Chain A
Amino acid sequence: MTPELARADRAAAVREAARSWRRAGWIDEAALAAVASRFPDDRVRVGPVFRALLFLFTAIAVCGGFGFLAVTVASGHDGVLAGLALAAGASLVAATELLTGTFRRRQGGIEAATSLMAIALLLGGGAWWLFSPGGLHLADGWPVFWTATAALTGAAAWRWGYPLYAGIGTAAGLAAVAHLPAGRALWIALPLAAAPALVRLAESPRLPPAHRASATAALLVALAGLYVAVHVGSWDARLVESLGGGHAEGLPPAADGGLARWAAVAAMILMPALLLAAGVWRRRLPLLAAGAAAAIASLATLPAYVHLGPLWLVLTVGGAAWIAVVLGAWRYLEAGPGGERHGFTAAPLTADRARQSLLEAAAAAALTMPAEPRALGAEPNFAGGGGRSGGGGASGEY
């Protein structure tokens, strides 16, 4: 990331914070204008809707252009097509550099699309050379492909500051090490080693906001990898070993009740608890979110190994208990001095309430009313329940 882009991102972060303070009513318009004048924007940006449209049409333009070349120039010649993909990918890298550099575009949609298409075409072209006749054997090619993906997306995240690429790069790195003989051990050791550093990087004032967000994305993917590696279901199914091309042959049978399996059970319980504790201790939403997701996954796994009763009972009691716990947490926070406890508050503070409200309305539209049983051929039994999609053309576009 160029120093100019990093500076622009830092200024944008301050302006965004000021807008949220204004929304909360803590500062007035004059103060907001003063912040904007002290931290001016030298980038060409567009709003989220224009950004999405520009991204969409840029992606269509690139796909259409490449498709045209593929049909007219490279039809029936895979090697030529792969070469074209590499050339087009390289051109799009140059275009992204031009757009973010000379044209100073940021959050503009077009440069995000060109960067994504560049990565996709470079990887697609590279994959053809790797796996084509005369190339590497399939088992040898995948580790190379995943390593190249990790390197390319990592470089893109560092250069252009897109957290998505950092997340993809971390996932590709994990996929690459899964091919090593000690793949599962590395899936545990590497995230454990990297997590403290990634947490610090995600908060470091020395990094620009985009790189902090990239560190957060890498952290979340690494923690997901760690959870998968210690999950008892993944141990039983030899999931990591399968991802690594089937190095499971030398391992003991899955459900042998050995020490490693019990360690996996213990880790599956401990990991969400530790993540939640760390999130509460440091007051960090990514850690809390990772801990909550891991806890939900562990709880969802439980009925597969322990008979808790019929599913309806588990869901009903679980849902009621869940609601009670959330309401309890809310009341606990609200009853604290000034409506906060240990640095947490249930008050919305700077949240965009109107936007949040519309998102919630969109989510509610996705709830189908309990389906009319006879209409859907489910007679004589009832087949209702929430959570199905459909209804009135629900959309997440709000």
Chain B
Amino acid sequence: MNPDAALAIPELAASGALPAEQVPRLLRLARGELLSVHAELRALLYAGVLLLTGGVGLLVEQNLDRIGPLAIASALALAAAAALGWVVRVAPPFSWQEVASPNLAFDYLLLLGILLVAADLAYCEAAFGLLGVHRSWHLLIVAGLAGAAAFRFDSRVVFSLALSSFAAWRGVSLTLAGAAPWSRNGAWRWNAIACGLGFAAFGLGLARSRRKPHFEPVAVHLGCLLALGGIGLGMIDESRGAGLAWAGALLLAGGALAGAAYRARRFPLFAYGVVAAYAGLSRLLEIRDAAAGCLWFSASSVMMIAGLLAAHRRMREAAA
């Protein structure tokens, strides 16, 4: 509902600014006589998928002895097959370009199917020890399955799940190996950086090759966050020199990302870069005194504001 637009539409239509045939529809929308609940239905579907998968998780946890592993694994497989079977039945043909979802439920039933497969696989691994010492590999398998499904069925939602499962695989593998995020050998840090750079490169590769180019933002955003987070982890290194070196690296990486994103008009990436560079610089200065620290944050923020305003003005002038 938009009362101001409802008042403006007749005037705009009379002046010829709006096409006459669209006026009744625009008026209905502006007066609240027609309401789209598309986003709300999708959000409710997402909540339903969360509830259902949460219930399935509890089911297998609490009923292992009573129902038996084979029955649980079979039930999960059947449920996953039902969801994925429906997806396969209604899916449009494959294309490397964006394909419109055949209906509102498509993405979420695909997501439900993949989550049920993941739950089944994790359960089988826990109950039967399918993967032996390579326990964490079920996450890698899920990442692969989700990735393949994302490409086949053109789902950014499932693609995002594939990437996060891949990163989770690295995290669980390191935990199994006994490495903590703050450990001195930096295994988490390097894994996060490698994953992040890999995701970003993969996303850029997709865009450049024009194969599922609309997946690129998902991969690049997640990749940048992981890489910057990994570099940022280095700043808490116990060794003073190493901590400062990582702070410098964060400053450089953040600055480079901000510059590149600004030129490409990728503003969320610009924000990641600016915040990372600022955090790196603030750590690099190693201010110990409270008053000096406060003064630094106050003065530097004013400078950041001035810089942002100047960058914004330049951008507007360039666009004009």
Q: Which residues of A contact B (CB under 8 A)?
A: 10-11, 13-14, 17-18, 21, 26-28, 31, 34-35, 38-39, 46-50, 52-54, 56-58, 60-65, 67-68, 70-72, 110, 203-205, 209, 212, 282-285, 288-289, 292, 310-320, 322-323, 326-327, 329-330, 333-334, 340, 343-351, 356-358, 360-376, 379-387, 390-395, 397-398
Contacts and interface: CB of A to CB of B under 8 A. Distances in A.
Contacts of B48: 319-320, 322-323, 326
B294 A35 contact: no
Nearest to B230: A393
Contact of B308 (A13, A54, A334, A379): A54
Nearest to B175: A375
Contact of B51 (A14, A322, A362): A322
Interface string B193-218: 00110000000000000000000011
A356 B156 CA distance: 11
Interface stretch (B239-247, B249-257, B268-276): B268-276
Contacts of B290: 67, 71
A14 B6 CA distance: 9
Given A54-B308, A64-B301, A364-B158, A319 B53 contact: yes
A284 B31 CA distance: 11
B160 A362 contact: yes
A385 B115 CA distance: 8
A364 B298 contact: no
A201 to B, nearest CB: 11
B44 A326 contact: yes
B99 interface: no
Contact of A392 (B167, B217, B294): B167
Main secondary structure of the interface of B (DSSP, over half): helix
B301 A57 contact: yes
Nearest to A286: B1
A382 B60 contact: yes
20 contacts: A10-B4, A18-B5, A26-B25, A31-B17, A64-B296, A64-B301, A209-B4, A284-B1, A318-B55, A329-B41, A330-B104, A343-B28, A348-B38, A349-B38, A373-B125, A384-B61, A387-B50, A392-B163, A393-B225, A397-B271
B37 A345 contact: yes
Contacts of B225: 393, 395, 397
B156 A60 contact: no
A292 B41 CA distance: 11
A335 B115 CA distance: 30
Contacts of B57: 312, 370, 382-386
A372 B125 contact: yes
B71 interface: no
B127 to A, nearest CB: 7
Chain B interface size, under 10 / 10 to 19 / 20 to 34 / 35 or more = 35 or more
A361 to B, nearest CB: 4
- The binding surface of chain A is classed by DSSP as helix
A35 B17 contact: yes
B139 A383 contact: no
B26 A26 contact: yes
Nearest to A110: B305
B153 interface: no
Given A27-B22, A61-B305, A65-B298, 6 more contacts: A49-B267, A68-B298, A283-B35, A319-B50, A323-B45, A382-B122
A345 B34 contact: yes
A136 B271 CA distance: 45
A168 to B, nearest CB: 24
List the 3 closest A-B pairs by CB distance, nearest first: A385-B57, A392-B167, A315-B55
A327 B105 contact: yes
B49 interface: yes
B42 interface: yes
Given A209-B4, A372-B125, A385-B53, A346 B36 contact: yes
Nearest to B42: A360
A79 to B, nearest CB: 20
Given A49-B267, A376-B175, A385 B105 contact: no
B30 interface: yes
B267 A382 contact: no
A39 B6 CA distance: 14
Contacts of A311: 55, 58
B8 A14 contact: yes
Interface in B47-89: 47-64
A203 B1 contact: yes
A24 to B, nearest CB: 9
A317 B196 CA distance: 38
Nearest to B226: A393
Contacts of B61: 312, 381-385
